[in-house]
Chains A and B, each alone.
Chain A
């Protein structure tokens, strides 16, 4: 069991994290204090064209190694210690933020692949260091603690963002550690997840044969990597990527009256069989253009959505929606397997 909340301003109106905090604090009992986290979009307008790396490290030694590595592969525009309030959590890793532009060489065709490769390198090869987020104009803040503690620890009152995502955890199949908390991030994509991915064994093998290395000893990171491979590397639309992750049943596919569409869905199901997610899950994912949710085909995990003219809200529990907004035009519980995709109505 985990708790999820999200809010997005369709027009990119900014606000601090206080509303998402309220929704998460209300859902406090959906976690056990062993992990909570937030993602915020639009928070670094000054460096909005730079990759903002949030790096956590066990020791200053590991941090030094990271700094050296980053200096070697990136133009570092700015480095800062992340502001924390260590009165709430005394036992914590070190946090550093870097604003970076990749130093591409001729054979690096794709800057995103370059960045991901470096993130993977730090996470797998630099002992005690971990990159929490690597997107542009966004950041992930997460760790071991309750939603309230983590919020206060990272002083999220002081950030202004137009999309916020929150999560708290009840880790069951993996140990709680700072890097293992949600959101999981890769470039602009941040995932929070409630549930368990029973297809993990094959999802992981699929990703590994495509060059990803799963490091976090937990199943949610595969969702981030799968979205990356589907949307960024294979060029699928968000809708198609969602179809891959939570496809319609074969029985429903066979009932499609439009033969072409039926074959299209069949082809996707067949090609991406190993990328399909099975097991109970509700997922909320922030990306550069918006926010979307998916649930499993049996709907074994909750997700509710509320909308007003200017905002959309997501939460595991309806009551959490009302912590963020009182006056909805609509509150719905999406059907099993039905995605909800919200995209910004204006350019950044």
Chain B
């Protein structure tokens, strides 16, 4: 019995307008998943969909020179059932065929409520005038790191200012390692960070030689695999990040298969060619908060006391953990919510582990304030930020800055097909295949990312201006700027906000 198709049902397919199609065959080349086959028909060839592999990445559609393709839904229909939906049946079939962990990429697709969407901003009416960002200054400058509790404690203001990381806009590019994404994308992010006064994170894959000129705008990661961590690496960064966990896969390490460890990656990660790059689940020298303190201070000592950031996944006890991290000496706490993106993670972990960033951020900010240590560390919120409203809501809940990964990928063509772990990313982003990576032009990506950030920045200024606030510092942690709808009392109290109308 041939059952090889079980579990392979795709729910999308390209639909071809054969009146427009001239049979050039571009789509078949663009589709890295071999969904499209050119078959002879009369004196020309026409494209035909296999209906097995389409993931709705829209690459063929965008690239078709004749505009002859539309990606359409091709539902996999089963008898309606409240629990056994087509998705669950399909996945069980697939696993019954392979016997392996189902891997995926991108961010969680569960339909749990997105709390950002239940928060609304205030606006000035009559009693306080709004300010027009086109006419008046509207400033978003932000400094990250450890700050004195009072000016009296500061012996040398210049020293203190120098120890902080300045951001012109409180947006950072989330850690995506060279290996999980290719060098072209890292280059584009690095250039944008330098140009716009932002910060990019390297992720755990080290810093490629070509990017050394951008190290002053980068926070370099020290993760469990210690990839690329050399004495020089520990000197050149603007700051350092100890990665404990990632929102999409808390408590899980990483694995870059040997066949992807090509020359540049092998050199940058300082591992042999074609050897598996394995990041253990925990850092094996950190089994407790005291151990974390040792590593924080080891990095501070070697780097000349650059700011050290600790990245954790948002989990149940996040407030207490964050407070411990700050007491251990961290200058920044990076919170990654469960909706954060990933290059590769087990499906069940991505969709079922961790908590939403909105709640994690709210409790951490509140806890640090209650303990009087909020000044000792900045909070970076990440994992599920989709637009400038999410950014401003995060700031109002208490984030010093946000980090974005998925929006950067989307700006560069990604349509969320969730096949980042395949090594065949059709947009040339999450792949190091030399042929496919070429698809991403650095200049083009730089322009796209710049545009996205500039657009968001204008929108953030609008939101500040319509609340009559000219400095983002007065928006930060100002939860009176927000009201909730469709939230229960518990959610309101954790978020520290009032219900709309109150």
A and B co-occur in one complex? yes
A contacts, CB < 8 Å to B: 172-173, 195-196, 198-202, 205, 208-210, 233-236, 240, 247, 249-251, 259-260, 263-264, 266-274, 276-280, 297-298, 300
Are A173 and B374 interface neighbours, CB within 8 A?
Answer: no
- List the B residue with the shortest CB-CB distance to A171: B127
Contacts of A249 in B (CB 8 A): 137, 139, 470-471
Are A173 and B127 interface neighbours, CB within 8 A?
Answer: yes
Are B370 and A267 interface neighbours, CB within 8 A?
Answer: no
Scoring B residues 122 to 157 as 1 if CB is less than 8 Å from chain A, else 0, what string do you get? 001011110100001101010100011111101001
Contacts of B181 in A (CB 8 A): none
Q: In the complex, A274→B395 CA distance in Å?
A: 13
**Interchain CB contact (< 8 A) of B375 among A234, A264, A271:** A271
Q: In the complex, A216→B369 CA distance in Å?
A: 22
Are A263 and B479 interface neighbours, CB within 8 A?
Answer: no
- Contacts beyond the supplied A249-B470, A267-B151: 13 A-B pairs with Cβ under 8 Å: A173-B127, A199-B478, A201-B478, A209-B369, A209-B370, A209-B374, A236-B151, A264-B157, A266-B161, A267-B154, A271-B147, A271-B149, A280-B468
- List the A residue with the shortest CB-CB distance to B369: A209
**Interchain CB contact (< 8 A) of B151 among A196, A260, A271:** A271
Contacts of A198 in B (CB 8 A): 124, 128, 467-469, 474
- List the B residue with the shortest CB-CB distance to A236: B151
Are A199 and B139 interface neighbours, CB within 8 A?
Answer: no
Contacts of B467 in A (CB 8 A): 198
**Interchain CB contact (< 8 A) of B469 among A172, A236, A278, A300:** A278
Are A280 and B151 interface neighbours, CB within 8 A?
Answer: no
Contacts of A233 in B (CB 8 A): 150
Say yes or no for B481: interface residue by CB 8 A criterion.
yes
Given the contacts A279-B128, A280-B129, A201 and B161 also touching, CB distance less than 8 Å: no
Q: In the complex, A240→B150 CA distance in Å?
A: 12
**Interchain CB contact (< 8 A) of A199 among B148, B160, B370, B474:** B474
Given the contacts A202-B478, A251-B139, A266-B157, A271 and B468 also touching, CB distance less than 8 Å: no
B contact residues, total (Cβ < 8 Å): 42
Q: How far is the CB of A240 from chain B (nearest CB, A)?
A: 7
B contacts, CB < 8 Å to A: 124, 126-129, 131, 136-137, 139, 141, 143, 147-152, 154, 157-158, 160-161, 164, 369-370, 372, 374-375, 467-471, 473-481
Q: In the complex, A105→B470 CA distance in Å?
A: 46
Contacts of A273 in B (CB 8 A): 473-474, 476
Interface pairs (26), CB distance under 8 Å: A196-B468, A198-B124, A198-B468, A201-B478, A205-B369, A205-B478, A209-B370, A209-B372, A210-B372, A234-B151, A236-B152, A249-B137, A249-B470, A249-B471, A250-B471, A260-B157, A260-B158, A271-B147, A271-B148, A271-B149, A271-B150, A271-B151, A271-B154, A273-B476, A278-B474, A300-B468
- List the B residue with the shortest CB-CB distance to A241: B151
- List the B residue with the shortest CB-CB distance to A280: B128
Contacts of A269 in B (CB 8 A): 473
Given the contacts A198-B469, A249-B137, A263-B161, A298 and B131 also touching, CB distance less than 8 Å: yes
Contacts of A277 in B (CB 8 A): 474
Are B128 and A196 interface neighbours, CB within 8 A?
Answer: yes
Contacts of A235 in B (CB 8 A): 152
Contacts of B369 in A (CB 8 A): 205, 208-209
Given the contacts A251-B137, A298-B131, A276 and B471 also touching, CB distance less than 8 Å: yes
